[in-house]
Structures are given as structure tokens and as C-alpha cells.
């Protein structure tokens, strides 16, 4: 079995069929199917999200510790030595340096799979439709569902917003892209853990907060709107999950000069 | 710090480019070739160009456009008019009229709001062009719009016309067939829901029966006068029927996506014989070509089969690649258009011996 077949069996086929099954039960509305499916995916991957938050918190606490600060000062000019000492401290405090990013890495195939599943399920060309027939499980009547209704609100879920959106003077107003950018920004700001000014992690976080919404907005504008709907839903569910866990910090939305110095995580 | 900004931007651009590649660029083929023939040339529409190929030796006569434009792609079977126009729909939502002799552009009709996946039907002075925007456009031979008929589903199949009742039959993906007055585009009837999308052109016999294959794994015979169901035939494993059947001597021949091939009595829908997938090796997407007592079918495995009307395989010829387009007859040749190999058009004689092949020059 080649890698493509394994990917299809484990990731793609279950996703496509789940989406279509949900679609059949939701008045054949693919927009609602994407929303419900995204919520289910976020719930299923919740243990990964929780583990990521826990690891990030442990890492933050360790970086605030006196030992960590001492190591930074002591080996400021010797990167090799600094790295070795940091690794020793990770071991000593039982913190995995990859603990916070591993869950994200594991979620990446889910995002790619969902992206492929949405594109394939909507099948707008003969090759795509023929390809879709190979992914369908036999235990439900998929023929009755095809073609899927790809309209939701003002969206054509199979096309990028730039191809059909409301245009003024030849420029398409990127409503969905703006929503994606706004929710990505909100999510990244609200979920950013408190940090000490000047530390490397905080700098990285600030750059992510700056570029990630723009990047996601670009994807939302250029790729089929079904994917953008997934982004918006996923961001909102993510914020909600963090809120339920008591991890949101609304003061992060304020400019840093107003919020620094008094941040505490709930 | 400044370098890190650049690094972030580069990483994001890298991811965007990778995702774009996963989605498939505009030049990635999204369908299989369209093929039409007259007594001199084969016209192949595939990806960014339309080619006219000499039937004598497979040489290229012309191509349109001369230089490929990634924003314009063609996959529908081109249609020939009696006044020498080649009508071909594009994925850029435009319908093109080309001079069939020279390949120069006559006119472009740009009212559609989605792709032309289906082939247009040309009847005397009229062009009937179904688009994936759920509209059927009727044009005159100068490309002027006469009327528009709006259905409730995309149409991926060429409509057919019955001269006697002056009915235009439009199969759609909303699981129904529409009968339309070709003079003014008004609806005469709409068939009941047939349990699955219809993406193949129906067959029609002069006794007023329409034969329609569906994704629901059924072949239906419909009354042409009102669209009511006369009989239905189910495929072996509810295999989806992509293309419409071919009628010959009271028998409907067709294949399904499970790789079965059927001969069904057109009068009553009873099965005369079937060939199982083990004998044909691959999905059957295109309609069969029937010439007298010979049936030519292509399979996804890139093989051209010749059967007799009793369902016995006479020969098979491996063309290569994958074949989804229906084979076409031209003079004494059988033409097939594989994809995923260099050859875009392959001609064999009726004994299955390859005569020539056409590979578009870079």
C-alpha cells in the first residue's frame, strides 16, 4: 500500500464520508456540515489542545524561574553551552521542549485532510467528481446527495471569495478573508500566555500574532470559501474552548504598554 | 529581529506555495479531452489548447490559441456547424467559435457565470450551449443570445433534440431531465427525480423513448412526450453510470464505474448480457461506439476493447494512460484520447492495429 492509499484510508476517506453523512442529516447544507464537522474535529482533538496548553504553561513557568535566568546570564556568549544547560534543565524540571509544538504538528495532518476533504467533496470538475466516487463508502446512498449544494449564506463554498464576492470598482471586498483575519488575530492574542518582555518566545509569539492573521486571510481570499469557513469556525471554537478552560486573557487585546506588568493568567 | 521578520514571511510564502500546489494549479488537467471528428480532421480540446489533427497521418493542422494561456482551458467535445464553425466551451466561462479550417477565432460568448463542461449542440442555425451555471444558452451562429433556460442543476452533458416533437432534452445534475421548446426556451416537462445525477447525454430513439443513465446505478427509459418512466434497469452493484447508452438494433449498450458492461433490451429493460469487471479491467466512463456488429469500449486502464453484439471480446489493444473519453469513428479508424501519457490522440484500425498517434509539440 503506497503512502497515498494509507493517507486516504486513515485520514481522507473518513473525513469525506463524515462530511457527506453530516451533510445528509443537515438539510443538505454543506456550510452547516463544515461547521458541525469542524466542531467535532476540535472536540476530538481537544486532548491535544489541552496538552499543548499545559506544556506551554510549564515552559513559561520554567522560563520565569531563577535557574533559567541564571543560565541565560552565565552562558550569554556560548550558545553551545547554553543549549546544553537548557536541555539539562528541561530534563530536571520534567518539561519537554517539544511538548507545546508536538500537538500542533499532530493537528497539521487533520487540517490538510480537512482541506482536501472539502475540495474533493464539492467536486466541481469531472476529474474531481470521478475521484470523489473512489472515496465514498458503500453503506449510505451518496448518489442521492451528489452534487452537494455548495451555497451557504452569500458564499459559494467551492470557489475562492475573490471569484464571486461583492465587487466595487473591480475590487472584490474580502468579507470572509477579513473575518478569518479578525478571528485568527483574536485567537492568537487571547490565547497568548503571559511573557517576560525581551524573551525569545515572546518575540516569536509577537511575530506569529502579526503574520498569522495576514497569512490566514490570504489563504481565505485565494482558496475555496469552504476552507475559510473552516478557519473561522475553528478559530471561534478554539477561543470558546480556551474560555471554558479559563485560559483567556482579555487584557492581551490591549496595547502592551497598558497591559504589561499586571498580566496574570486565570 | 529584522531577519526574523523576513524568515517568517519566507516560511509563510513557502506554505502558501505548497498549499497552492496541493490544490492544483490552473494548468493541471481537471477533465479528460473532448473529441470530435469530420471526414478530414479530428478536433481535440484538452487543457490549454484545441488541436486540429489530420486523420491521414496524425499531423497537426492548427492549434488554438497558438500560445497557451493558463487562464483558458478546454475539455468539452467541440461541435461542428454546417458553416464551418467549431464551437468549444472553455473553463473560463466563455464559449468560443473557431474557424474549423484555420483555427482562427470568430467570436466569443461570455455571458455564462461558470464553466462549460458539456458539449454544445448545433441544430441548423442554432447553438444550444449548457453551462455549469445551471443555464442553457441558445445562440445563433453569430454568437448572439436568443434565449436562456434556467434549470435547477448544472448540466455537464450535451442536450439532444427530437425534430419530430421539436423537443430539446437537457439532462442535469439535479437528477432530472428537462424537455424544452428549442424555439423559445420554455419548459415542456420535467422528469421525476431519477435517484442520481445525470452527466451523460441520453440516447433517443425515433419511437419517442429517451434512455438515461444516472449515478443512482439505473438506466431509465422515459417517454419523450411527458418524461414519465417506462422502465428502469439496475446495474449489478448499483454502479454509477457516467455516460449515456448507445442504441443499436433495439439494444442499449453502456458501462458503469464498477467496470461492468451491459447490453439491455431497449423495449423492456431486460438484460441481454453483461461483462463483469474482471474481463474489462477498469471503470467505464465513456459511451461505447457501435459500428454495425462491433462494439468499441474504453476503460480507465487505458485499454480499447472490441466486442461483438453477443458480448464476446474480439480483441483488446492497450493504448496506455487512462481513457475516459468515448471512442470515435473516423473513416476506417477508431480514435481514442488517453491522458497521463504523451500521446493525446491514438488511431487504430478496426483490427486494433495502431495507425498513428498525435503528440502535441511543446
Using a CB-CB distance cutoff of 8 angstroms, which residues of chain A are in contact with residue B32? 126-127
Compare CB distances from A130 to B91, B197, B285 and report the shortest one's residue. B285
Cβ–Cβ < 8 Å for B222, B230: yes
pLDDT tens digits for B151-191? 999 999 999 998 777 899 999 999 999 999 999 999 999 99
Residue entry with cell 473525513:
A15
What cell does B116 get?
A: 462549460
Cβ–Cβ < 8 Å for B208, B246: no
Cβ–Cβ < 8 Å for B311, B274: yes
Number of domains chain A is built from: 2
The answer to whether the bond into A147 is cis (omega within 30° of 0) is yes
Residue with the bigger pLDDT between A86 and B170: it is B170
- Is residue A145 in some structural domain? yes
Contacts of A44 (CB under 8 A, 6+ apart): none
- Is residue A222 in some structural domain? yes
Distance from the Cα of residue B311 to its chain's centroid: 24
- Is residue A81 in some structural domain? no
ipTM value, please give it.
0.89
**Claim to verify: residue A109 and residue A202 sit in the same structural domain:** no
- Is residue A71 in some structural domain? no
Q: How many CB atoms lie within 10 A of CB B21?
A: 10
**Claim to verify: residue A41 and residue A135 sit in the same structural domain:** yes
In 3D, which of B298, B303, B307, B297 has the Cα closest to residue B317?
Answer: B303
For residue B96, give how far its alpha carbon lies from the nearest alpha carbon of chain A (Å).
Answer: 19
* Environment class of A99 (CB within 10 Å of its CB; exposed 0-12, middle 13-18, buried 19+): middle
Report how many helices (DSSP H) and strands (DSSP E) chain B contains, helices first.
Answer: 2, 34
pLDDT tens digits for B120-139? 999 989 999 999 999 999 99
B116 touches chain A (CB under 8 A): no
Say how far apart CA B60 and CA A118 lie, in whole Å. Answer: 40
Q: Do A127 and B12 touch (CB under 8 A)?
A: no
For residue B190, give how far its alpha carbon lies from the nearest alpha carbon of chain A (Å).
Answer: 18
Say how far apart CA A184 and CA B12 lie, in whole Å. Answer: 15
Contacts of A255 (CB under 8 A, 6+ apart): none
% of chain B residues with pLDDT over 90: 85
- For the entire predicted model, the pTM comes to 0.84
Q: Do A219 and B16 touch (CB under 8 A)?
A: yes
Residue B33 has pLDDT above 60, yes or no: yes
- Is residue A79 in some structural domain? no
- The nearest alpha carbon in chain A to B237 belongs to A138
Residues of A at the B interface, defined by Cβ within 8 angstroms: 112, 115-116, 119, 124-130, 133, 143-144, 146-147, 203-204, 207-208, 211, 214-215, 218-219, 222-223
For residue A71, give how far its alpha carbon lies from the nearest alpha carbon of chain B (Å).
Answer: 22
Using a CB-CB distance cutoff of 8 angstroms, which residues of chain B are in contact with residue A219? 16, 19
Using a CB-CB distance cutoff of 8 angstroms, which residues of chain A are in contact with residue B216? 143-144
Question: What is the torsional sign of CA A176, A148, A130, B43?
Answer: negative
**Claim to verify: residue A139 and residue A230 sit in the same structural domain:** no
- The nearest alpha carbon in chain A to B17 belongs to A219
> What local confidence, expressed as pLDDT, does residue A211 receive?
76
Residue B3 has pLDDT above 90, yes or no: no
Residue span of the structural domain in which A106 resides: 1-64+97-149
Q: Dmax of chain A from CA atoms?
A: 69
Using a CB-CB distance cutoff of 8 angstroms, which residues of chain A are in contact with residue B173? 146-147
For residue B196, give how far its alpha carbon lies from the nearest alpha carbon of chain A (Å).
Answer: 5
Q: Do B199 and A207 touch (CB under 8 A)?
A: no
Say how far apart CA B121 and CA B140 lie, in whole Å. Answer: 12
- The nearest alpha carbon in chain B to A126 belongs to B31
For residue A245, give how far its alpha carbon lies from the nearest alpha carbon of chain B (Å).
Answer: 30
**Claim to verify: residue A52 and residue A158 sit in the same structural domain:** no
Say how far apart CA B113 and CA B332 lie, in whole Å. Answer: 40
B214 touches chain A (CB under 8 A): yes
Using a CB-CB distance cutoff of 8 angstroms, which residues of chain A are in contact with residue B156? 126
- What is the enclosing helix (H) or strand (E) of A187? helix A175-190
- Cα–Cα separations (whole angstroms), residue B161 to B124, B129, B158, B214: 11, 13, 10, 19
**Claim to verify: residue A212 and residue A263 sit in the same structural domain:** yes
pLDDT tens digits for B170-181? 999 999 999 999
Q: Do A115 and B22 touch (CB under 8 A)?
A: yes
**Claim to verify: residue A122 and residue A181 sit in the same structural domain:** no
- Is residue A166 in some structural domain? yes
Q: Which of A89, A122, A149 is the last residue of a domain?
A: A149
Residue entry with cell 474560555:
A243
Contacts of B158 (CB under 8 A, 6+ apart): B77, B79, B118, B119, B120, B121, B130, B201
% helix, strand, coil for chain A, step of 5:
70, 5, 25
Say how far apart CA A230 and CA A207 lie, in whole Å. Answer: 23
**Claim to verify: residue A110 and residue A205 sit in the same structural domain:** no
Distance from the Cα of residue B6 to its chain's centroid: 49
Q: Do B153 and A119 touch (CB under 8 A)?
A: no
What B184-187 contacts at long range (C-beta under 8 Å, 24+ apart), as own/partner pairs, is: B184/B147, B185/B136, B185/B138, B185/B146, B185/B147, B185/B148, B185/B149, B186/B149, B187/B149
Say how far apart CA A127 and CA B117 lie, in whole Å. Answer: 11
Residue B38 has pLDDT above 60, yes or no: yes
Q: Do A223 and B19 touch (CB under 8 A)?
A: yes
Q: Do B4 and A112 touch (CB under 8 A)?
A: no
**Claim to verify: residue A246 and residue A200 sit in the same structural domain:** yes
Q: How many CB pairs under 8 A join A and B?
A: 74
Q: Which of A86, A120, A149 is the last residue of a domain?
A: A149
B115 touches chain A (CB under 8 A): yes
**Claim to verify: residue A109 and residue A212 sit in the same structural domain:** no
pLDDT tens digits for B58-78? 999 999 999 998 889 999 999
Concatenated DSSP letters for B124-151?
A: TTEEEEE-TTSEEEEEETTS-EEEEEE-
**Claim to verify: residue A231 and residue A242 sit in the same structural domain:** yes
- The band of B214, judged by pLDDT with boundaries at 50, 70 and 90, is very high
pLDDT tens digits for A233-260? 988 988 888 888 777 776 666 665 555 5
Q: Do A119 and B75 touch (CB under 8 A)?
A: no
Q: Of A63-77, B31-45, B344-358, give the lowest mean pLDDT range.
A: A63-77
Using a CB-CB distance cutoff of 8 angstroms, which residues of chain A are in contact with residue B29? 127
Q: Helix (H, G, I), strand (E, B), or coil: what is residue B265? A: strand
- The nearest alpha carbon in chain B to A145 belongs to B196
> What local confidence, expressed as pLDDT, does residue B27 receive?
47
B340 touches chain A (CB under 8 A): no
> What local confidence, expressed as pLDDT, does residue A264 receive?
41
- Is residue A9 in some structural domain? yes
Using a CB-CB distance cutoff of 8 angstroms, which residues of chain A are in contact with residue B158? none
**Claim to verify: residue A259 and residue A134 sit in the same structural domain:** no
pLDDT tens digits for B310-339? 999 999 999 999 999 999 999 899 999 999
Report the half-sphere exposure of B166 (CA within 13 A, side-chain side). 7
Q: Which of A123, A149, A175 is the last residue of a domain?
A: A149
**Claim to verify: residue A109 and residue A27 sit in the same structural domain:** yes
Residue B37 has pLDDT above 90, yes or no: yes
> What local confidence, expressed as pLDDT, does residue B24 receive?
45
pLDDT tens digits for B271-308? 999 999 999 988 999 999 999 999 999 999 999 999 99
Say how far apart CA B58 and CA B83 lie, in whole Å. Answer: 24
Residue with the bigger pLDDT between A106 and B30: it is B30
Q: Helix (H, G, I), strand (E, B), or coil: what is residue A138? A: coil
Using a CB-CB distance cutoff of 8 angstroms, which residues of chain A are in contact with residue B153? 147
Using a CB-CB distance cutoff of 8 angstroms, which residues of chain A are in contact with residue B197? 143, 146-147
B17 touches chain A (CB under 8 A): no
In this structure, what are the phi and psi dihedrals at residue A251, rounded to the nearest 5 degrees?
-65, -15
Expressed in angstroms, the distance from the first to the final Cα of chain A is 49
> What local confidence, expressed as pLDDT, does residue A119 receive?
84
| CA angle, residues B132, B133, B139, in degrees to nearest 5 | 90
Compare CB distances from A125 to B5, B31, B242 and report the shortest one's residue. B31
For residue B362, give how far its alpha carbon lies from the nearest alpha carbon of chain A (Å).
Answer: 24
Sheet arrangement for strand B313-318: B289-291, B294-298, B303-308, B313-318
> What local confidence, expressed as pLDDT, does residue A213 receive?
84
Using a CB-CB distance cutoff of 8 angstroms, which residues of chain B are in contact with residue A208? 8
- Is residue A249 in some structural domain? yes
Amino acid at each position: 500500500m503506497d503512502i497515498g492509499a494509507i493517507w486516504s484510508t486513515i485520514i481522507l476517506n473518513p473525513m469525506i464520508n463524515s462530511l457527506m453523512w453530516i451533510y445528509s442529516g443537515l438539510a443538505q447544507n454543506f456550510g452547516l456540515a463544515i461547521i458541525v464537522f469542524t466542531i467535532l474535529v476540535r472536540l476530538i482533538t481537544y486532548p491535544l489542545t489541552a496538552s499543548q496548553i499545559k506544556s506551554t504553561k510549564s515552559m513559561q513557568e520554567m522560563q520565569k524561574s531563577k535557574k533559567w535566568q541564571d543560565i541565560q546570564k552565565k552562558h550569554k556568549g556560548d550558545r553551545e553551552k547554553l543549549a546544553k544547560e537548557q536541555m539539562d534543565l528541561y530534563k530536571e524540571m520534567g518539561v519537554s521542549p517539544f511538548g507545546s509544538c508536538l500537538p500542533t504538528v499532530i493537528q497539521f495532518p487533520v487540517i490538510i485532510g480537512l482541506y482536501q476533504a472539502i475540495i474533493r467533496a464539492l467536486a466541481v470538475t469531472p476529474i474531481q467528481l470521478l475521484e470523489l466516487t473512489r472515496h465514498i463508502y458503500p453503506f449510505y446512498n451518496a448518489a442521492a446527495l451528489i452534487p452537494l449544494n455548495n451555497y451557504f449564506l452569500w458564499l459559494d463554498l467551492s470557489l475562492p471569495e475573490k471569484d464571486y464576492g461583492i465587487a466595487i470598482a473591480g475590487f472584490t471586498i474580502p468579507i470572509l478573508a477579513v473575518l478569518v483575519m479578525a478571528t485568527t488575530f483574536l485567537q492568537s492574542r487571547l490565547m497568548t500566555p503571559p511573557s517576560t518582555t525581551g524573551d525569545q518566545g515572546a518575540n516569536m509569539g509577537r511575530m506569529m500574532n502579526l503574520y498569522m492573521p495576514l497569512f490566514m486571510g490570504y489563504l481565505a481570499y485565494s482558496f475555496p470559501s469552504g476552507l475559510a469557513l473552516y478557519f473561522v469556525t475553528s478559530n471561534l471554537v478554539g477561543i470558546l474552548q480556551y474560555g471554558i478552560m479559563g485560559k483567556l486573557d482579555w487584557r492581551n487585546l490591549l496595547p502592551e504598554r497598558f497591559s504589561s506588568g499586571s498580566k496574570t493568567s486565570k | 529581529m529584522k531577519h526574523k521578520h523576513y524568515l517568517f514571511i519566507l516560511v509563510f510564502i513557502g506554505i502558501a506555495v505548497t498549499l497552492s500546489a496541493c490544490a492544483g494549479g490552473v494548468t493541471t488537467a481537471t477533465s479528460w479531452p473532448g473529441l470530435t471528428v469530420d471526414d478530414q480532421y479530428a478536433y481535440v480540446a484538452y487543457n490549454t489548447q484545441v488541436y486540429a489533427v489530420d486523420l491521414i497521418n496524425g499531423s497537426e493542422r492548427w492549434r488554438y490559441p497558438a500560445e497557451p494561456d493558463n487562464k483558458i482551458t478546454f475539455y468539452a467535445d467541440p461541435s461542428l456547424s454546417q458553416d464551418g464553425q467549431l464551437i468549444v466551451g472553455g473553463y473560463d466561462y466563455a464559449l468560443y467559435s473557431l474557424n474549423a479550417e484555420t483555427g482562427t477565432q470568430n467570436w466569443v460568448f461570455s455571458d455564462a457565470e461558470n464553466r462549460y463542461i458539456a458539449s454544445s449542440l448545433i441544430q441548423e442555425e442554432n447553438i444550444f450551449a449548457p453551462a455549469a451555471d445551471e443555464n442553457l444558452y441558445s445562440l445563433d451562429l453569430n454568437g448572439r443570445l436568443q434565449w436562456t433556460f434556467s434549470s435547477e442543476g448544472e448540466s455537464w452533458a450535451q442536450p439532444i433534440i427530437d425534430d419530430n416533437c421539436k423537443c430539446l432534452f437537457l439532462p442535469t445534475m439535479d437528477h432530472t431531465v428537462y424537455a424544452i421548446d428549442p424555439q423559445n426556451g420554455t419548459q415542456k416537462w420535467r422528469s421525476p427525480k431519477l435517484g442520481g445525477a445525470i452527466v451523460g447525454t441520453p440516447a433517443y430513439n425515433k419511437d419517442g423513448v429517451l434512455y438515461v443513465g444516472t449515478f443512482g446505478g439505473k438506466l431509465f427509459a422515459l417517454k419523450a412526450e411527458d418524461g414519465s418512466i417506462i422502465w428502469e434497469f439496475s446495474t449489478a452493484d448499483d454502479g454509477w453510470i457516467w455516460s449515456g447508452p448507445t442504441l443499436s438494433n433495439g439494444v442499449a449498450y453502456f458501462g458503469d464505474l464498477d467496470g461492468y458492461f451491459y447490453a439491455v433490451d431497449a423495449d423492456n429493460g431486460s438484460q441481454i448480457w453483461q461483462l463483469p469487471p474482471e474481463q474489462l479491467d477498469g471503470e467505464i466512463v465513456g459511451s461505447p461506439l457501435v459500428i454495425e456488429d462491433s462494439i468499441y469500449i474504453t476503460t480507465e486502464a487505458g485499454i480499447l476493447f472490441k466486442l461483438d453484439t453477443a458480448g464476446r471480446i474480439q480483441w483488446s489493444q492497450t493504448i496506455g494512460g487512462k481513457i475516459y473519453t468515448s471512442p470515435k469513428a473516423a473513416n476506417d479508424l477508431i480514435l481514442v484520447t488517453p491522458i497521463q501519457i504523451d500521446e493525446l490522440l491514438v488511431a487504430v484500425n478496426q483490427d486494433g492495429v495502431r495507425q498513428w498517434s498525435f503528440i502535441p509539440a511543446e
